[in-house]
Amino acid sequence: MTAARPLRALPAALLLMLGVMPAAEAREARTYYFGSDLSYVNEMEDCGATYSRDGKPEDVYALFKSSGANLVRLRLWNDPNWTAYSNLADVTKAMKRARAAGLPVLLDFHYSDDWADGDKQLVPAAWAHLSTDQQVEALYKFTYDTLMTLNAQGLMPDQVQVGNETNGEMMGSVTWKQGDPVKPINWERNARLFNAGIRAVKDAGAKAGKTPRIMIHIAQPENVEDWFLKATRAGIAGYDLIGISYYKKWSKMDMAGLGAVINRLRHTYPGKDIVVVETAYPYTDKHMDENVNLMGEYSTFPAYGFSPEGQARYLHDLMQLTLDNGGAGVVYWEPAWVSTQCKTRWGSGSNWENATFFDFTGKALPALDWPKAQYVYPVEMTFRVKDGGQSALFVSGDFTGGLAVPMTRENGWFAYRSWQRPGTSLLAGAAETPEALKDAPASEITVPTKAAVATLSTK
């Protein structure tokens, strides 16, 4: 995608006020994801945790279903011999519960025996001494076999993450400690591993008759665009969704910066859905246990502070920001990791107790019902130019974030489709080259409330 210079500003008398027509084929149907990562639930319940709205314990999956959630995310480690959870048996149990509640599942392959995240990507111990060729084969087989095992139980996931927060090279380290220098990515090897995972999902889906949507996930928005540019150049292809982690504590961007990244991504990769697949916000700065809470003062925004209401407003505003910039959803990380008497490697209780959707008694907070809040949903706008034999056409404007986006030739027109917020005023122009966009006539458009077509002029 090419960055275009701003469109030529026209005198008001010469500005073309566009007639926007209803789309002949209105494509309003689009899935939006209101998700939660519930990977800790089985462990927390084994430790005595309960979840409720009014003090009477309820099935937590049914509770999230009743809140309007439509996606559950579950992590999978290869051979986590340090815990009895997040292995295939535990994930199978969780998926059965999700299915029983009518909740679709996003299965998150870490391709590690432990946490894989933006700092580290530890190779599974069983694969540590394999060659790259052997690791590619092992990753493919593990992915394929896992999915077919689940499918045999009626549990083929709806989405699959190929890797978790893969900012660094997938399975790029055998050991890691805090402060280790960042290793450069071997993109030839990285692409082979990613493509093996993607191919395994597609092959398993073809065999099962149901192919999960495939996500690639990078931590923090400031890292995403450069990573996907390099990944595309390396030949990583065939995925459907771009996942972003966004935590104020660990990101250099504010929410507006995140929105701008989502907007550029959806125009750079128009066939992909963009999802904020991890986020969290604390509702209090209090503690129930002595374990250190990871979500502290540096995890809050002044507009929301520390409060249950602030947590709920953050989630609403983040979802609306995602929608306004063409994204497809938000997934909250670990809203059920409440405090119990059990111990983790970090201490007794939970590091996340003040960022869950439940207070210290297990009673639901307002954030649980964030999917039920009122949102303004985007409509699909089709920008088109009559096909006059041009070799190519590009569209740009304030709505593309300054990018020159190639249009597609179809049925006598060049066209480009984009999801936009109703009522928004935007400028758009088209030209035969990115360089010519600076002199293209700017067409002023007000986005209607239903899918519509806007015809642009290049003269």
Q: Which residues does the annotation mark as catalytic?
A: 165, 278
> Closest Cα to residue 279, out of 265, 264, 300?
300
H or E stretch covering 255: helix 255-268
- In sequence order, the 6+-apart residues with CB closer than 8 A to the CB of 389 are none
8 A C-beta contact, residue 170 and residue 234 = no
Strands (E), 389-451: 394-397, 403-406, 408-410, 413-420, 425-431, 443-446
8 A C-beta contact, residue 346 and residue 292 = yes
The one-letter amino acid code at 238 reads G
> Closest Cα to residue 142, out of 213, 81, 203, 74?
203
Dist. CA 245–CA 281, nearest whole Å: 13
Residue 91's SS3 state is helix
Q: Which two structure tokens, joined as six digits, stand for 177?
A: 């400690």
What's 115's DSSP letter? Answer: -
Dist. CA 78–CA 80, nearest whole Å: 6
Q: Which two structure tokens, joined as six digits, stand for 228?
A: 């996907």
Dist. CA 354–CA 349, nearest whole Å: 11
Q: Which two structure tokens, joined as six digits, stand for 61?
A: 């999956």
The one-letter amino acid code at 389 reads G
> Closest Cα to residue 454, out of 382, 401, 405, 393?
382
Dist. CA 50–CA 105, nearest whole Å: 22
Strands (E), 132-190: 159-162
8 A C-beta contact, residue 243 and residue 161 = yes
- Say how many C-beta atoms besides its own lie within 10 A of residue 17's C-beta: 10
What's 358's DSSP letter? Answer: B
Residue 339: φ, ψ to 5°: -80, 135
Residue 442: φ, ψ to 5°: -90, 125
> Closest Cα to residue 329, out of 318, 340, 342?
318
